[in-house]
Amino acid sequence: MTERAPLPYDFMPQVPAFTVESNDVADGQQMRDAQVFNSFGMSGQNISPHLRWHGFPAETRSFSVTCYDPDAPTGSGFWHWVLIDVPVSVTELPSGAASGEASGLPPGSFCVRNDYGSKDFGGAAPPAGDPPHRYVFAVHAVDSEKLGIDSSVSPAVAGFNLRFHTIARGLLIPVFGH
């Protein structure tokens, strides 16, 4: 892979940016084993990372959190995490909030099925020998308390709805390769 795939937000209307930080992952840095998948030949811990955000617009009514690998060799990238309807009062998720049964999620929020087929965080699992893949963690500031979808929709349908309701977005893009 010599040329990098574009980021999904390169094709969306521009919105203001805000800050996303983490105690677990860092922009442009290799993710640790904690955020690596525990199948597909990988032996990671599959733990959703800690995230916190600030600087979003006052008009924000809720948040959505997504993680997308634009470098996956699929022709359509790979959705690792799609979290919807996070209350506006929540500006931080602890490590593991969306892992397994996702019992650490804020009340009222839910995960949409990821491309592994589960409704939680699915860690990094790029093919051996690929250049490091980028994992685009995005926090979307949303203009309504509820996005109007349920957990049965695909990541593409969630993204379609986010396209029309995102008023600002913060990105954090670590990498992983092996």
Band the pLDDT of 2: cuts 50, 70, 90.
low
Amino acid identity at 91: T
Determine phi and psi for 73, rounding to 5 degrees.
Answer: -80, 60
What is the pTM (predicted TM-score) of this model? 0.96
Nearest Cα to 97, choosing from 63, 142, 54?
Answer: 63
Predicted local distance difference test score (pLDDT) of residue 1 = 44
Can you spell out the DSSP letters for 62-108?
EEEEEEEETTSTTTT-EEEEEEEEEETT--EE-TTTTSTT-TTSPTT
pLDDT, tens only, 119-150: 999 999 999 999 999 999 999 999 999 999 99
Round the average pLDDT of the chain to a whole number and report it: 95
Domain coordinates of the chain in residue numbers? Answer: 8-176
The answer, yes or no, to whether residue 101 has pLDDT greater than 90, is no
3-state secondary structure of 136: strand
Predicted local distance difference test score (pLDDT) of residue 88 = 98
CB 96 within 8 A of CB 151: no
Task: Characterize the bridge pairing of strands 166-172 and 133-134.
Answer: unpaired
CA distance 165 to 80: 21
CB 175 within 8 A of CB 28: yes
Least confident stretch, 4-8, 29-33, 164-168: 4-8
pLDDT, tens only, 22-56: 999 999 999 999 999 999 888 899 999 999 999 99
CATH 3.30.70.260 for the 8-176 domain, yes or no = no
